[in-house]
C-alpha cells in the first residue's frame, strides 16, 4: 500500500476545464464572486457553485464573506506557484490554447503571478538581483544577501513579518520558461513598483503596464525587459 500525499484528488480537480479556468482567473491575486468566476469558466451559475464547492473542499481556494456576498481567492501562494509550474509544463510539452487572445503579448511582457511580477519583466528583475549580488542561487534555492537586504530597505520594501512564507523563492515562469522572483521579496517589490507609480495593473486582467518614465526607472534598477523591451509594444501606458 502506497503511503504519503495523494495527488490524485488535486489532479482530478485540475482536470476539469471549467475549474481550471476559474483557478487561472484567480492567479491575479484578487478575490472574485461566483458570478464572475462562472463567466470566466463559461458555465452556468449552478455549475459554478458546484465547481467552487469542490475547489474549496479540496483546499485550492478560500471563501471570503463580506456582508451577503461571498468572494473566492486562491488558498495561498503555494497554490499559485503550483499552477504557474503546471502552466509552464503545459507550454513546454505543447498543450496550448487553440486561440491565443489579443492580449497574450502583454501577458508575456509583464503580468501578476498571484502577488508578484512575472513575464519578461519578472525574469529581468530576478536576473538583475542575481547579477548584482543581491540574491544568490544555491542549487535552486534563492538567498537574500546582505547587499540585497540593504537594497530592499533602500527601495522601500518591508521584509519583516513574513511568517512561514519564504523570503525569496524562484517561481518558474510559464511564458519565459525561466524563473522569476516570488516569496515575500517578490511581493514587496511589485507592491513598491505600484507605489512608485512605475506601473499599474490593467483592470480585470493580470496585465501590468508600465508608464514610459516608470519603464525607464525599472530598467535603470533592474535591466532591460525582454529582447525588444516593453517600449516597442502596448506594454507601456
Residue in this structure with the C-alpha cell 468572494, named with its chain if needed: 71
What percent of the chain is predicted at pLDDT more than 90?
67
Note if the pTM is more than 0.75.
yes
Interhelix angle 45-57/34-41, rounded to 10 degrees, is: 100
In tens, the pLDDT along 149-175 reads 999 999 999 887 666 789 999 999 988
Residues 63, 210: Cα–Cα separation, whole Å: 32
184 sits in which H/E element: helix 183-195
Q: What are phi and psi of 129, to 5 degrees?
A: -60, -40
Report the distance separating Cα 107 and Cα 202, nearest Å. Answer: 11
Which residues of the chain fall below pLDDT 70? Answer: 1-2, 97-103, 161-163, 226-237
β-bridge mates for residue 181, sequence order: 170
Class of residue 6 by CB neighbours under 10 A (exposed 0-12, middle 13-18, buried 19+): exposed
**pLDDT at res. 199:** 97
Q: What is the dihedral of CA 187, 30, 24, 66, to 10 degrees?
A: 140
CA-to-CA distance for 120 and 108, rounded, in angstroms? 6
β partners of residue 199: 210
Nine cell digits for residue 129: 538581483
Rounded-to-10 torsion of CA 219, 222, 227, 233: -40
What is the CATH code for 8-75? 1.10.10.10
Query: Cβ contacts of residue 78 below 8 Å, gap of 6+?
Result: none
Domain ranges of the chain: 8-75, 104-232
Residues for the chain: how many in total? 237
Cβ atoms 119, 110 nearer than 8 A: yes
**pLDDT (tens digit, 9 = 90+) per residue, 208-223?**
999 999 999 999 998 7
Q: What are phi and psi of 186, to 5 degrees?
A: -60, -45
Average per-residue pLDDT for the chain: 88
Amino acid at each position: 500500500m502506497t503511503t504519503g500525499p495523494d495527488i490524485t484528488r488535486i489532479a482530478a480537480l485540475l482536470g476539469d476545464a471549467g475549474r481550471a479556468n476559474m483557478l487561472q482567473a484567480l492567479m491575479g491575486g484578487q478575490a472574485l464572486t461566483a458570478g464572475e468566476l462562472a463567466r470566466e469558466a463559461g458555465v452556468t451559475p449552478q455549475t459554478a457553485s458546484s465547481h467552487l464547492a469542490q475547489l474549496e473542499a479540496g483546499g485550492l481556494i478560500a471563501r471570503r464573506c463580506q456582508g451577503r456576498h461571498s468572494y473566492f481567492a486562491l488558498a495561498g501562494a503555494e497554490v499559485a506557484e503550483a499552477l504557474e509550474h503546471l502552466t509552464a509544463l503545459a507550454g513546454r510539452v505543447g498543450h496550448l490554447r487553440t486561440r491565443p487572445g489579443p492580449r497574450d503579448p502583454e501577458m508575456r511582457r509583464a503580468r501578476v503571478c498571484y502577488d508578484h511580477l512575472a513575464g519578461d519583466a519578472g525574469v529581468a528583475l530576478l536576473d538583475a538581483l542575481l547579477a548584482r549580488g543581491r540574491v544568490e542561487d544555491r542549487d535552486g534555492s534563492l538567498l537574500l544577501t546582505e547587499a540585497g537586504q540593504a537594497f530592499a530597505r533602500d527601495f522601500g520594501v518591508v521584509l519583516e513579518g513574513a511568517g512561514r512564507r519564504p523570503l525569496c523563492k524562484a517561481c518558474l515562469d510559464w511564458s519565459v520558461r525561466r524563473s522569476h522572483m516570488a516569496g515575500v521579496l517578490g511581493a514587496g517589490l511589485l507592491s513598491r513598483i505600484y507605489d512608485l507609480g512605475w506601473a499599474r495593473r490593467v483592470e480585470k486582467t493580470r496585465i501590468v503596464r508600465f508608464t514610459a518614465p516608470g519603464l525607464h526607472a525599472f530598467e535603470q534598477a533592474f535591466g532591460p525587459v525582454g529582447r525588444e523591451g516593453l517600449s516597442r509594444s502596448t506594454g507601456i501606458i
